Structure 1
Amino acid sequence: MVARLLLSVQDACVSFGDKKLFDGLSFNITEGDKICLVGKNGAGKTTLMNIITGTRDLDDGTRWQLQGMTIGYLQQDITPTKGQSVYDFVFSQFSTEEQIAANAYKVDMVLHPLGLDPQAKMDKLSGGQLRRAAMARALVEEPDILLLDEPTNHLDLDVIEWLEGMVRGYHGAVVCISHDKAFLNAISDKVFWLDRGTLKVCPYGFSRFDEWSAMILDQEARTLHNREKALLQELEWASRGVKARRKRNQRRLDLVKAERDKFFKDKGEFLRMMAKIEISPIETEVSSKIVAEFFKVKKGFNEDGREIPILDQFSLRIMRGDRIGILGRNGSGKTTFLRLLTGELEPDAGKVKMSREIEFSYFDQTRRDLIPEWSLWKTLAPDGGDHVNVRGKPRHVCGYLKDFMFDPTMALQPVSTLSGGQKNRLMLARVLADPKSFLILDEPTNDLDMDTLDMLEEMLSEYQGTLIIVSHDRDFLDQTVTKILAFEGDGKIEGYIGGYSDYLAARAERKARMGAAAEAAKRTDKKDADAPQVIEAAPAASKTRMSYKLQYELDNLPKKIAALESEIDELQDALADPDLYQRDPGAFENMSRRLPLAQADLDHAETRWLELEAMKAESV
């Protein structure tokens, strides 16, 4: 059965001033299509969405839509109405009480899975909650064509997986813009690729897009090569001279000149399209083996008189070179953990110990370090001048901006004029200019295009320092981290080895074990239902005071640790001298033997400090 055609655009032309964005744009959307829309920043993805909705007029060409067909658009930003409830916002398009009653079941089907309280006020919601409310409204409207612009931003992983199922089973057509490769792999059966003012249609889902697009580009490269060979032959003929009286030859010469100009234009656009963000590998100074330690940390917040636990008796040791991904629902404690780590917050109980030599580079998803009134130039060079220090080497601001795919003419634009993706690229440029030995990235993939995302993955794969990433992008986590911390809420945190896929497998295995244990417990309870119950009183917990000897040892351990760290630094500096062995072989041999012993002593002292702190906490 042939799918019903919902919308068709043919030979469309769209311009902004003198710049032609689309020329000869043609595409169809049929019922049941699951389309992902991809292209570089500035390629026209938002404009294409507006063409589909009809809010952007065509300069030329035709747009047709099926009579009575409806279109819904989940946009990036919405403005909440003061005092309006989530329920009223979601169902505001229904005009009668009967229609509202008929759709009330969707509260359980959509609002609850999205974690929304129907009675909450829209003007009191966070940015992420507003996005989920807009998502709920788009889904309950059930339009014939549903347009989704970055639908996974600010969503928890469980909600993203739920949304995948909703989109796959959606009766109408879906057109989606997203940086989340795993989401696109799961929901799409077709790709619209915006490339240099044209739209190319990949007849497969996003999972096969890389293979298909590489084949298209290889074919284009071969065509350009053949055109270049033919053009060189024509130019060689033209260089021998043309008799002006022969009109046939003059016409041929005009065609050669026109082909030359078109070839160089096409080749330049092809090379610019193929250009990738390239940055040199990041080198970090070696820091101490233990970067940070959380020991029995407790942290909570009071909300409306109710204590909300964030961390409860939480212990963690972060070692140099660890690559940790952090998952969890909004409000589960991820940001609190980062603020404790960076020293912005103090724990209610327990200890957070940081290596004294550690330095942070922090990518903050709220972009609070970007000042809207500043230009891109001033953001990268706040102290003035026309150069930015990039890992110890001066780079001209415009040249460095080009590395991150900014046109140098944008250098003096204010930050407030940038799109979300451009702001994130500017933040990356700022952070990566001088990355420290401990890199913290809080939702770095939001609003990034695929090229920038690939660059970031490649850069992080070569990063030698300690890395913590908070992200809901599953493919990105699989590519960049080797450990997962899953914040489950109510102070519960689980650790897993591997990336996101390993976390999923381990979680499924744990659920299966818990299910089997629950079944076994039910069978045991049934057998023992009639058995007499004996309840023994638990002995009262007694606390013993730390002895003077242990307290003395605890008081003196910090000095011992500091002395060992100082000795290790001196030994490493001395052994870094390439002439030491020739100058004093005995000293070289003694220092080489002492260094691993001192490092072992330091590890033992730090472990002992943790043990004694635990004993002290239990005795209080």
Structure 2
Amino acid sequence: MVSQVLLSVQNAVISFGGKPLFENLTFHILEGDKTCLVGKNGSGKSTLMNVIRGLRDLDEGKLWQLEGITIGYLRQDVVVKPEQTVKDYILEDLKKENQSEAFTYRMEMVAEPLQIGLSDLMENLSGGQKRRAALARALVEDPDILLLDEPTNHLDLEIIIWLENYLKSYRGAVLCVSHDRTFLANISDKVFWLDRGRLLVCPRGYKFFDEWSTGLIEQEERELHNREKMLEVEVAWASRGVRARRKRNVRRLALMKETREKLRQDKSAFLRMMAKIEIEGTEVEVSSKIVAEFIKVDKSFGSKVILDKFSLRIMRGDRIGVLGKNGSGKSTFLKLLVGELQPDMGKVKINKDLEFSYFDQARKELDPEASLWSTLCPSGGDHIEVMGKSRHVCGYLKDFLFDPEMARHSVKTLSGGQKNRLLLAKVLADPKSFLILDEPTNDLDM
């Protein structure tokens, strides 16, 4: 049985500042599809989501959707109003006439496995708990097309497994952006790959994506090599005969110049696609072997106990992973460590020589209005000190996969993954003696 087309995009073109982001993009979303949308940071995944949601018009091309279908969306950022309960948050965008008893029952059925209380205040929830509330908000409407933007960020493994099972049996279509490879492999039966303005379709799930995409990349590499060899032969032949048949060969050499420039652009784009972040390592020492110590620390919020007579000694050279369920106190522990919070009882002792570099998952250190350049060089100039060495800001940005022309772009124009890369660049330029990373891999490429 052929599945019904719910939404179709034909020959789409979208540009930013005169530079095409997509060209001649065509795809279809069918009833029951479980599709993952992959691509490097800044390739346009969020933009494409906004096109499907009707929040971004195409510069060229056509978008069609089946009359009467509904589209649900799990957003990355959760905006909370004062005194707003989880129930109020879920119902916020729902029309009054749709808030039936059946809907209330469905809301309770979704909230229970997500382990959120409908009467809880949103402002009192941890980042992971807020994420669950946002997930409930997207799921309870039971939309025909469900768009998920990084659904596993901040979620416990238990909740991720529940979500996988829920989506496998979901009757509607799912389009998911995620950097969680295992999650994508478990839920998808199709892959949309955004690559250099193109959308390529892998007709099988993410389990087969690496093999499929590697084959395409190797084929492209061979074609680039063959084009280069053919061009060398053509140039050598034309150069020898240019005097004998001047007019014809001058035209031919001009055409070859254009061909060489196109080859150079294609090779440059291919190398950018294959590039990886380069991070230099360094050792920063403090005078004592003990760098921090928690001594019988108590910390509560209202009646909720986070830490009870908690003791811990952190030694120089330790590499510590902080694990725990949403709301168990991971962020509270880190804030106690850096001094943003004080214990109710007990003591947190910090070595006098200790300095912190803190990568905050909320990215509060990034000014949305600032440029990438001024973010790394807030005092002006065009060089930045990176681990004691002077680097040109554009060269340092290239280490984190930013093209030089992006240096003057504002932070607010970046995707979530690009913002994370910029914050990593800022933090790692001058690493202190204690590096704290709070969800550093969220939104980052594989």
Partner SS, residue 323 of structure 2: strand
**Which segment is superposed worse, 241-250 or 23-32?**
241-250
Distance 1:274 1:162 in 2: 34
**1:353 deviation in Å?**
4.2
Q: 1:397 is matched with which residue: 377, 390, 393?
A: 393
Aligned pairs (5 A) from 1:374-413: 374-413=370-409
Q: Does 1:324 align with 2:320?
A: yes
Quote the residue 2:205 is aligned against: 205
* Gap change, CA 1:59 and 1:300, over 3 Å in 2: closer
Cα displacement string for residues 487-543 of structure 1 (whole angstroms, at most 9, x for unaligned residues): xxxxxxxxxxxxxxxxxxxxxxxxxxxxxxxxxxxxxxxxxxxxxxxxxxxxxxxxx
Letter in 2 for 1:7: L
* Gap change, CA 1:82 and 1:347, over 3 Å in 2: closer
Aligned pairs (5 A) from 1:329-368: 329-368=325-364
Q: Does 1:301 align with 2:300?
A: yes
Q: Any conservation in 2 of the 1:150–1:179 contact (CA below 8 Å)?
A: yes
Q: Any conservation in 2 of the 1:15–1:21 contact (CA below 8 Å)?
A: yes
Q: Any conservation in 2 of the 1:291–1:355 contact (CA below 8 Å)?
A: yes
* Gap change, CA 1:142 and 1:397, over 3 Å in 2: same
Q: Any conservation in 2 of the 1:43–1:197 contact (CA below 8 Å)?
A: yes
Structure number with the bigger relative contact order (C-alpha 8 A, sep ≥ 6) is: 2
Letter in 1 for 2:94: Q
Distance 1:79 1:315 in 2: 35
Q: 2:427 is matched with which residue: 428, 431, 437?
A: 431
- How many matched pairs? 445
**1:151 deviation in Å?**
1.8
**Which segment is superposed worse, 58-67 or 68-77?**
58-67
Higher helix share: 1
Letter in 2 for 1:268: S
Identity of aligned residues (%): 65
Distance 1:255 1:422 in 2: 38
Q: 2:437 is matched with which residue: 431, 436, 441?
A: 441
Distance 1:343 1:82 in 2: 26
**Which segment is superposed worse, 154-163 or 346-355?**
346-355
Q: Any conservation in 2 of the 1:388–1:394 contact (CA below 8 Å)?
A: yes
Letter in 2 for 1:149: D
Partner SS, residue 104 of structure 1: helix
Q: Any conservation in 2 of the 1:94–1:100 contact (CA below 8 Å)?
A: no
Quote the residue 1:261 is aligned against: 261
Q: Any conservation in 2 of the 1:287–1:437 contact (CA below 8 Å)?
A: no
**1:358 deviation in Å?**
4.0
TM-score with structure 1 setting the length: 0.64
Which consecutive unaligned segments of at least 5 residues does structure 1 have?
451-620
Distance 2:182 2:312 in 1: 30
Q: Does 1:132 align with 2:151?
A: no
**1:277 deviation in Å?**
1.7
Distance 2:388 2:31 in 1: 56
Distance 1:274 1:62 in 2: 31
Quote the residue 1:601 is aligned against: none
**1:148 deviation in Å?**
0.8
Partner SS, residue 9 of structure 1: strand
Distance 2:136 2:350 in 1: 43
The CA RMSD measured in Å over matched residues stands at 3.1
Quote the residue 2:41 is aligned against: 41
Aligned pairs (5 A) from 1:151-190: 151-190=151-190
* Gap change, CA 1:168 and 1:282, over 3 Å in 2: farther
Letter in 2 for 1:93: L
Quote the residue 1:108 is aligned against: 108
Letter in 2 for 1:150: E
**1:354 deviation in Å?**
4.2
**Which segment is superposed worse, 399-408 or 51-60?**
51-60
Letter in 1 for 2:49: M
Distance 1:414 1:51 in 2: 22
Aligned pairs (5 A) from 1:59-74: 59-74=59-74
Letter in 1 for 2:437: L
Cα displacement string for residues 72-96 of structure 1 (whole angstroms, at most 9, x for unaligned residues): 2222346556776543543453554
Partner SS, residue 103 of structure 1: helix
**1:223 deviation in Å?**
0.6
**1:404 deviation in Å?**
1.6
Aligned pairs (5 A) from 1:163-562: 163-242=163-242, 253=253, 255-285=255-285, 288-295=288-295, 297-303=296-302, 306=303, 308-372=304-368, 374-450=370-446
**1:424 deviation in Å?**
2.1
* Gap change, CA 1:339 and 1:426, over 3 Å in 2: same
Q: Any conservation in 2 of the 1:147–1:174 contact (CA below 8 Å)?
A: yes
* Gap change, CA 1:310 and 1:245, over 3 Å in 2: closer
**1:19 deviation in Å?**
1.9
* Gap change, CA 1:418 and 1:193, over 3 Å in 2: closer
Partner SS, residue 214 of structure 2: helix
Cα displacement string for residues 227-270 of structure 1 (whole angstroms, at most 9, x for unaligned residues): 11111111112212347979876775565344323222211211
* Gap change, CA 1:66 and 1:316, over 3 Å in 2: same
Distance 1:348 1:182 in 2: 40
Partner SS, residue 42 of structure 2: coil
Letter in 1 for 2:421: R
* Gap change, CA 1:288 and 1:161, over 3 Å in 2: farther
**Which segment is superposed worse, 148-157 or 278-287?**
278-287
Q: Any conservation in 2 of the 1:293–1:354 contact (CA below 8 Å)?
A: yes
Quote the residue 2:14 is aligned against: 14
* Gap change, CA 1:38 and 1:302, over 3 Å in 2: closer
Quote the residue 1:52 is aligned against: 52
* Gap change, CA 1:185 and 1:282, over 3 Å in 2: farther
Distance 1:131 1:363 in 2: 20
Cα displacement string for residues 397-436 of structure 1 (whole angstroms, at most 9, x for unaligned residues): 2221222223334445554554433332222112111223
Which consecutive unaligned segments of at least 5 residues does structure 2 have?
none
Q: Any conservation in 1 of the 2:297–2:348 contact (CA below 8 Å)?
A: no
Distance 1:386 1:258 in 2: 34
TM-score with structure 2 setting the length: 0.87
**Which segment is superposed worse, 251-260 or 22-31?**
251-260
Partner SS, residue 394 of structure 1: strand
* Gap change, CA 1:75 and 1:33, over 3 Å in 2: same
* Gap change, CA 1:89 and 1:362, over 3 Å in 2: closer
**1:125 deviation in Å?**
6.5
**1:286 deviation in Å?**
7.3
**1:34 deviation in Å?**
1.6
* Gap change, CA 1:172 and 1:285, over 3 Å in 2: same
Cα displacement string for residues 127-185 of structure 1 (whole angstroms, at most 9, x for unaligned residues): 65554333212211111211111222343343233222222221111111122233223
* Gap change, CA 1:112 and 1:288, over 3 Å in 2: same
Letter in 2 for 1:174: V
* Gap change, CA 1:129 and 1:406, over 3 Å in 2: same
Distance 2:5 2:238 in 1: 52
Distance 2:87 2:244 in 1: 79
Q: Any conservation in 2 of the 1:145–1:172 contact (CA below 8 Å)?
A: yes
**Which segment is superposed worse, 139-148 or 239-248?**
239-248
Letter in 2 for 1:398: C
